[in-house]
């Protein structure tokens, strides 16, 4: 038999779990202030996440999918993207969204059951959260097609989870992106678990990155708990895509330290030992070690940052809780550009029977 | 419980879906089954709804009876290709040579502050598909009996489980393996002056409305449709012949809803029994809103009572 094609999948790590450099420092990280900025963003989203869980537990927020443990992947992707690029998120990539200008209040409004949370003040061009699994990957490919047709130097970035890679949409998006050389980067956040199903039960492949091979596009793995590696890999993929070099699939290896959502109880299907082990690899720890060693961080700055984060989160929670329930008109507004006449009568009925304004 | 009974008594029954195994289903509907019947008969599938429906077709045509869970109704759409083009026409197009005894269970409706795409009631889309029954129980006991009937049925059955009932209703259910009939309505409350037809969780509001109407001197009969497709026209027509009035209550949007089909049946076969125009109390022809407004969307007891009173005002 003649071998007609061979493939390999690379793995990238720059900071090891102890915060030591194991690879060349990327250009953006030569300015330590930029690394500090990413550490601050990771701390900020973790503070937000913890408060959001607390709000849900106290009946002030709906079901909420936490991002605990994913901070390096989410912030790394956000920092690699240009403001003009388009993000097609799943539903827990708050670190990327906050970096891009989505507010904590908007995130809380969405999970608090209010459509206005998806009407981002900034960035206007990003997609909103996407609950139907994997469907967003095709939207990103379509947006990339628009950029390509108009010859705009913009890219789309689509997130997907490890579980989502089992969906047909995911393969269709990879195939389309490869076949049309689209400026799109797909980021698989492999956090080990699709609710209760581990990756090994999802697929027989050794890596998820190799799913790119069948689509004829490059695929690589990065340490998803290493913000430097994530940002470097995504930056390079975006630069290639932006200059007409086509798409890329990046698998970020991380771990879902929380339950799937606040409605889930992960202790039913995974061991405490596994979670404890994952905590030793978590992303903030190693970056803090790195910054301490570089004399770019200290306890006083850490305390000040935590205080600032708490202040910002509290202000966002205050704004969220102070937002009055929308009028029942919101059910009919924005359904069509020009509402059909028959909805007027239904709108009137809704008004007649509306629940009390300002309620939960 | 119905799963377990039937798995115990029929080796061909297998349970498949996302998180149905160790996790026991996101609504705990399959809790304990994997430990009892093993990972071959209670299988977590990859996260792919087309996979779940398509593999069900293959399994069912080859000797198994899959009971498949689609985790939320908003996720059913990738499965529709397999359901419409294969599952429901397998018997027909092979002239009975291959058949699809599949049950697809999926949550239905809103009212529990769930996230986006978790609260819709799009049964109309499913009822329009020939070759498949659509069932929606209104209580735990009826869920037990109807699920048994669905699993024992030789054809595809879509089994819609109202999420409000998962939480709102607790009821002792006798685990005796006794199925309830498909294609039949259940009369939940007998009455003489107006017929109220509803299904799923909306039967709760409809029964409350009937109780309220009683205090106002109106004696309402409440029918639980139970099998949404095909519709048990005889029971509804007999009731309307007795009461002379019909109000249909459903959570789903009004446009081309199952209520319209019921109204058409009564218009075709029972028009001269009617003493007042038929009324529908339904969700609005818009997207099920996120949860801060969901109770502005789901018909309230007051809306039902007012609609019934209007049938007496004409």
Using an 8 Å CB-CB cutoff, list chain B residues near A131: 74, 115-118
- For chain B, give every domain's residue range: 2-168, 186-313
Residue A359 has pLDDT above 60, yes or no: no
Using CA coordinates, name the residue in chain A closest to B28: A264
**Average pLDDT of the residues in A305-319:** 98
Query: Is A1 within the bounds of a domain?
Result: no
Residues of B in contact with A62 (CB under 8 A): 113-115, 291
In this predicted structure, which of A59-68, A351-360, B151-160, B302-311 has the lowest mean pLDDT?
Answer: A351-360
Residue of A nearest to B289 (CA): A331
In a domain, A306, yes or no: yes
Q: Which of A11, A20, A116, A269 is catalytic?
A: A269
What pLDDT is attached to residue A357?
58
Q: Which of A65-69, A97-101, B167-171 has the lowest mean pLDDT?
A: B167-171
Share of chain A above pLDDT 70, in %: 99
Same domain for A319 and A352?
Answer: no
Residues A148 and A285 in one domain: yes
* Contact map slice: B 90-149 vs A, CB within 8 A: 113-118
Q: Do residue A66 and residue A164 come from a single domain? A: yes
Same domain, yes or no, for A25 and A95?
yes
| Judgement on whether residues A164 and A188 belong to the same structural domain of the protein | yes
Question: pLDDT digit string (tens) for A169-211?
Answer: 999 999 999 999 999 999 999 999 999 999 999 999 999 999 9
Do B2-168 and B186-313 fold alike per CATH? yes
pLDDT, position A360: 43
Asked if the C-beta of B287 comes within 8 angstroms of chain A's C-beta atoms, the answer is yes
Q: Is residue A274 a part of any domain in this protein?
A: yes
CB contact under 8 A, B302 and A355: no
Q: Which residues pair with B222 in a beta bridge?
A: B189, B196
pLDDT of amino acid A162: 98
Same domain, A270 and A338: no
Which residues of B are less than 8 Å from A331 in CB distance? 284, 286-287, 289, 293, 296-297
- Put simply, the answer to whether A62 touches B291 (Cβ < 8 Å) is yes
Measure the CA–CA gap between B243 and B274, rounded to whole angstroms.
Answer: 8
State whether A114 and B290 contact (CB < 8 Å): yes
DSSP state of B41: H
Task: Looking at the structure, tell me whether residues A339 and A312 fall in a common domain.
Answer: no
Note the pLDDT tens digit of each residue in A90-141: 999 999 999 999 999 999 999 999 999 999 999 999 999 999 999 999 999 9
User: What is the model's pLDDT at position B314?
Assistant: 59
Closest to A173 measured CA to CA, from A201, A194, A145, A204: A145
Q: How confident is the model at residue B168 (pLDDT cuts 50, 70, 90)?
A: confident
C-beta separation of B225 from B162 below 8 A: no
- In this structure, the number of other CB atoms found within 10 A of the CB of residue B2 comes to 23
In this prediction, residue A246 carries a pLDDT of: 98
Q: Is A269 noted as a catalytic residue in this protein?
A: yes
Flag whether A112 is in a domain.
yes
- Give B207's contacts (C-beta < 8 A, 6+ positions apart): B188, B189, B222
Task: Mutation target for B interface from A55, A58, A62: give the one with most B CBs within 10 A.
Answer: A62
The verdict on residue A2 lying in a domain is no
The structural domain count of chain A equals 2
**A198 and A239 co-located in one domain:** yes
Three state DSSP letters for A141-199 = HHHHHHHHHCCCCCCEEEEEECHHHHCHHHHHHHHHHHHCCCCEEEEEEECCEECCEEH
How does pLDDT run across A246-269, given as a tens digit for each residue? 999 999 999 999 999 999 999 999
CB contact under 8 A, B19 and A349: no
Q: Note if the bond before B222 is cis, omega within 30 degrees.
A: no
**Domain B2-168 homologous superfamily, CATH:** Thiamin diphosphate (ThDP)-binding fold, Pyr/PP domains (3.40.50.970)
A47 to chain B, closest Cα gap in Å: 22
Whether the pLDDT of residue B1 is over 90: the answer is no
Write A51-60 long-range contacts (CB < 8 A, 24+).
Answer: A51/A313, A51/A314, A51/A317, A52/A107, A52/A108, A52/A111, A53/A258, A53/A262, A55/A108, A55/A317, A56/A111, A56/A262, A57/A262, A60/A112, A60/A321
Find the closest chain A residue to B113 by CA distance: A62
Q: How many CB atoms lie within 10 A of CB A44?
A: 23
Class of domain B186-313: alpha beta
Cβ–Cβ < 8 Å for B188, B195:
no
> Mean of the pLDDT values across residues B214-243?
98
Q: Minimal Cα distance from A110: which residue of B?
A: B290
Q: Average pLDDT, whole number, for chain A?
A: 97
Domain assignment of residue A186, yes or no? yes
What is the domain extent for residue A332? 326-360
Torsion of CA B99, B103, B104, B110, to 10 degrees: 140
In the A/B pair of chains, how many CB contacts fall below 8 A?
A: 118
Check whether residue A284 and residue A360 sit in a common domain.
no
Distance CA A60, CA A96 (A): 24
Q: Which residues contact A350 (CB under 8 A, 6 or more apart)?
A: A328, A329, A331, A332, B284, B296, B297
**Chain segment A218-227, per-residue pLDDT in tens:** 999 999 999 9
Is there a single domain that holds both residue A315 and residue A348? no
């Amino acid at each position: 038999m003649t071998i007609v094609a061979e493939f390999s999948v690379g793995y990238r790590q720059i900071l090891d779990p102890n915060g030591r450099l194991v690879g060349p420092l990327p250009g953006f990280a030569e300015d330590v202030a930029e690394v500090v900025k990413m550490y601050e963003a990771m701390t900020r989203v973790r503070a937000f996440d913890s408060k959001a869980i607390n709000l849900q537990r106290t009946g002030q927020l709906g079901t909420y999918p936490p991002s605990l443990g994913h901070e390096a992947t989410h912030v790394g992707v956000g920092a690699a993207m240009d403001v003009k690029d388009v993000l097609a998120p799943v539903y827990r990539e708050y670190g990327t969204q906050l970096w891009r200008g989505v507010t904590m209040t908007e995130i809380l409004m969405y999970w608090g059951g209010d459509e206005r949370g998806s009407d981002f003040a900034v960035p206007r061009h990003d997609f909103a959260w996407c609950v139907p699994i994997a469907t967003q990957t095709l939207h990103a490919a379509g947006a990339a097609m628009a950029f390509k047709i108009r010859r705009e130097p913009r890219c789309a970035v689509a997130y997907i989870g490890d579980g989502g890679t089992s969906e047909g949409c995911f393969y269709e998006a990879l195939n389309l992106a490869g076949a049309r050389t689209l400026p799109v980067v797909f980021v698989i956040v492999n956090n080990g678990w699709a609710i209760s199903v581990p990756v090994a039960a999802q697929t027989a492949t050794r890596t998820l990155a190799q799913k790119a091979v069948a689509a004829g596009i490059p695929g690589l793995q990065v340490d998803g708990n290493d913000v430097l590696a994530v940002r470097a890999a995504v930056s390079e993929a975006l630069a290639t895509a932006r200059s007409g070099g086509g798409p890329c699939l990046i698998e970020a290896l991380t771990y879902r330290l929380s339950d799937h959502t606040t409605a889930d109880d992960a202790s039913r299907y995974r061991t405490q030992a596994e979670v404890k082990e994952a905590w030793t690899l978590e992303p903030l720890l190693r970056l803090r070690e790195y910054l301490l060693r570089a004399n770019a961080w200290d306890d006083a700055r850490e305390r000040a940052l935590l205080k600032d984060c708490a202040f910002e989160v509290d202000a966002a929670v205050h704004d969220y809780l102070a937002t009055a329930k929308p009028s029942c008109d919101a059910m009919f507004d924005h359904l069509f550009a020009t509402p059909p006449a028959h909805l007027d009568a239904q709108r009137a009925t809704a008004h007649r029977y509306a629940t009390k304004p300002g309620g939960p | 419980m119905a799963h377990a009974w039937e798995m115990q008594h029929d080796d061909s029954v297998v349970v498949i879906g996302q998180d149905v195994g160790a996790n026991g289903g996101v609504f705990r509907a399959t809790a304990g089954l994997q430990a009892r019947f093993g990972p071959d008969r209670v299988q977590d599938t990859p996260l792919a709804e087309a996979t779940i429906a398509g593999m069900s077709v293959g399994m069912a045509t080859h000797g198994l009876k899959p009971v498949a869970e689609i985790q939320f109704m908003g996720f059913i759409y990738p499965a529709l290709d397999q359901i419409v083009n294969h599952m429901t026409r397998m018997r027909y197009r092979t002239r009975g040579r291959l058949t699809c005894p599949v049950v697809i269970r999926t949550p239905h409706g809103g009212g529990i502050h769930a996230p986006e795409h978790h609260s819709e009631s799009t049964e109309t889309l499913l009822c329009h598909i020939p070759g498949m029954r659509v069932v929606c129980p209104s209580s735990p006991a009826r869920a037990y009996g109807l699920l048994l009937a669905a699993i024992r049925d030789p054809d595809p059955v879509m089994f819609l489980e109202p999420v409000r009932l998962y939480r709102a209703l607790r009821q002792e259910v006798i685990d005796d393996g006794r199925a309830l009939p498909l294609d039949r309505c259940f009369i939940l409350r007998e009455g003489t002056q107006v017929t109220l037809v509803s299904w799923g969780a909306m039967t709760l509001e409809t029964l409350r409305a009937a109780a309220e109407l009683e205090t106002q001197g109106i004696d309402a009969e409440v029918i639980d449709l139970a099998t949404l497709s095909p519709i048990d026209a005889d029971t509804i027509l007999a009731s309307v012949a007795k009461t002379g009035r019909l109000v249909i209550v459903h959570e789903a949007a009004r446009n081309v809803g199952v209520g319209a089909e019921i109204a058409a049946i009564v218009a075709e076969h029972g028009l001269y029994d009617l003493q007042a125009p038929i009324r529908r109390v339904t969700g609005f022809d818009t997207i099920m809103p996120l949860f801060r407004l969901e109770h502005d969307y789901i018909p309230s007891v007051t809306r039902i009572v007012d609609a019934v009173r209007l049938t007496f005002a004409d």
